Structure 1
Amino acid sequence: MSLGCAGRFSEPSALVLLGLTILTLFLSSVPVSAWRPWPNATVANGSDLIFGNSKKYEGSSEFVRLKYHMGPVLTANITVHTIWYGTWQREQKKIIREFISSISADHSRHPSVSEWWKTVRLYTDQTGANISRTVRIGSEKNDRFYSHGKTLTRLSIQSVIKSAVTAKTKPLPISPQSGLYLLLTSDDVYVQDFCRQVCGFHYFTFPSIVGYTLPYAWVGNSAKLCPGMCAYPFAVPNYIPGLKALKSPNGDVGVDGMISVIGHEIAELASNPLVNAWYAGQDPSFPVEIADLCEGIYGTGGGGSYTGQLLDGRDGATYNLNGIRRRFLVQWIWNHLLGYCTGPNALDQ
């Protein structure tokens, strides 16, 4: 087991943590689904929640008010259509493809990516239908020549998606009900707010730009721009002296850092595709979603500067989930039935 960065610097008091949680939930100014693995505020541990013989503490708080706002969730089989924007190596694509394929792989070794997805599947629509258990890879589009430049805004991201679905040759299919459009930018592309506030985000396309309302997510490769911000704990912030980075499970710090962000965004797209389904807070422009509530928590005891208890491979790499053939580090998801963050690598499971 890995103890991550525990004990390297002092933790704030429980009272301060509680204050930060309340402030984060109700005064957040981060854009929709903006996320970064290095937390800017810690979710406070609340009362002793007991489920059967299992005691859970990670992220639990009586102040969390996650609600269903009657919008759709992705109950049909989910197909991920990927846009590879910029320069990508074949091995980098393989890592990301296997993570997506592992979501529905029932026979992966415990703790597995498919077991992690079971928490996402707990969320339902107004008919009681659960989020689909099936997440599969759909069509892909390569944009090797940076058709919209190497600096993208939030609106130009939608223009990239439009180009992909309206291309003269092999356009991505239009699937508003079950399609999920994943735009991945290479390590030499800067996106608005990247590294300062976000490592990825999700939203839906505007018909005035794309012609359709399609749920989409963007995630960037931070390897050259800000690995200490978006590839933590495989890279660490420069402003924390003495903090040692952990070894990434697939040998690519930027891509291994992307995996958790991709998981974060797919989970939130499935449970809140049009920003009117599952979230906490009163303002849908600033929702706190099912993955936001577990920011920075990857294992038992996680929170604040500490990832939680992780697994160490024989090669020294750190991970918490097994895929079909590879290993990954993916943050936990909020379980609304129990009121805390959960993951299959919890020590009491």
Structure 2
Amino acid sequence: MCLGERRLTALVQQPPLVLTYHKGALLQGDLLVNVVWYGHFTAVQRSIVGDFIASLSQKGKEKSPAVSSWWELTEEYSAKAGRPSTTNVLLGKQVVDEKCSLGKSLKRTQIKDLAAKAVAFNGITLVLTSKDVAVEGFCMSSCGLHDSAPLAKGLKEKFAYIWVGNSETQCPGQCAWPFHQPLYGPQTPPLVAPNGDVGVDGMIINIASLLAGTVTNPFGNGYFQGAATAPMEAASACPGMYGKNAYPGYAGDLLVDSASGASYNANGVNGR
């Protein structure tokens, strides 16, 4: 598919707010997202992620249904907490560690070290690992995570960070569905990836979900249900549901690009 026709996946509109607010901080206002690229990513792959981040706050500049319309739902959580505010997501600095300075087998504690290379004040650091980098727990228990860490040793103030891995060669059936045959459950045919890259399109799904969870529960005392150690957060209440009439093994009624046959459910910037 040519670059001008690529589409970005996002998330289906969520059901009414059912998460409990635990009186903690929320991320609001101008939200800078710094990116750490760990391992090899092509220029095209970086542009896919960059355009998705840019699409979150491009209100009125995209065809409907728009990525920005989905993102506006996060502002409802702020309003419900008595803190009405617009959350404008801005792409910040990007750090490239293509030679994998910490090796190609990472512990989760090392994700925090990588995030510290690009701390975003009143923002989020996004750590992305390439398809040949193994991360503790990846594929076995998660496709990514979000957490927080002190800005510096001895300080109480924290910064929020996200990690997402490229599952293309490790577990696409778990972390890149519906663009790859699922590992378990109904074996329905995979959908055509909107950007022609199963691994990175799967990353976009996980980045979207974790961004929503981070903004509404950045430090573990925001919006969530269940135990704080294993919370159900915004966008995680309906996993695998990307359109109307979704059910296990079926992602939902999605839009289909007439030229490429790719499935998508939201429009982003630059024709994504």
- Range of TM-score over shorter length: 0.7 to 0.9
> What SS does structure 2 have at the residue aligned with 1:235?
coil
Q: TM-score, normalised by structure 2?
A: 0.88
Q: Distance in 2 between matches of 1:79 and 1:129?
A: 19
Q: Does 1:199 align with 2:153?
A: no
TM-superposed CA distance for 1:284, in Å, is: 0.9
Residue correspondence of structure 1 range 1-349 to structure 2 within 5 A: 66-106=19-59, 107-124=61-78, 128-130=82-84, 132-162=86-116, 164=117, 172=118, 174-175=120-121, 178-206=122-150, 213-239=158-184, 243-281=188-226, 283-314=227-258, 315-327=260-272
Greater displacement, 109-118 / 120-129? 120-129
TM-superposed CA distance for 1:153, in Å, is: 1.3
Note the aligned Cα RMSD (angstroms).
2.3
Q: Distance in 1 between matches of 2:80 and 2:54?
A: 28
Unaligned runs of 5+ in 2: 1-12
TM-superposed CA distance for 1:154, in Å, is: 1.3
TM-superposed CA distance for 1:325, in Å, is: 2.3
Q: TM-score, normalised by structure 1?
A: 0.69
Amino acid at match of 1:75: Q
Q: Distance in 1 between matches of 2:244 and 2:175?
A: 21
Query: CA offsets, 1:103-137, max 9 Å, x none?
Result: 01121000000011111111117862235331010
Q: Higher relative CO (CA 8 A, sep ≥ 6), structure 1 or 2?
A: 2
Contact kept, 8 Å, 2:115 with 2:126, in 1: the verdict is: no
Runs of 4+ aligned structure 1 residues displaced above 6 Å come to 208-211
Contact kept, 8 Å, 1:302 with 1:309, in 2: the verdict is: yes
Among all aligned residue pairs of Structure 1 and Structure 2, give the percentage whose two residues are the same amino acid.
Answer: 37
Unaligned runs of 5+ in 1: 1-57, 165-171, 328-349
Contact kept, 8 Å, 2:185 with 2:248, in 1: the verdict is: no
Q: Distance in 1 between matches of 2:22 and 2:85?
A: 15
Contact kept, 8 Å, 1:67 with 1:280, in 2: the verdict is: yes
Contact kept, 8 Å, 2:119 with 2:159, in 1: the verdict is: no
Q: Distance in 1 between matches of 2:136 and 2:19?
A: 28
Number of aligned residue pairs: 257
TM-superposed CA distance for 1:206, in Å, is: 4.1
Contact kept, 8 Å, 1:84 with 1:140, in 2: the verdict is: yes
> What SS does structure 1 have at the residue aligned with 2:125?
strand
TM-superposed CA distance for 1:189, in Å, is: 0.6
Contact kept, 8 Å, 1:221 with 1:258, in 2: the verdict is: yes
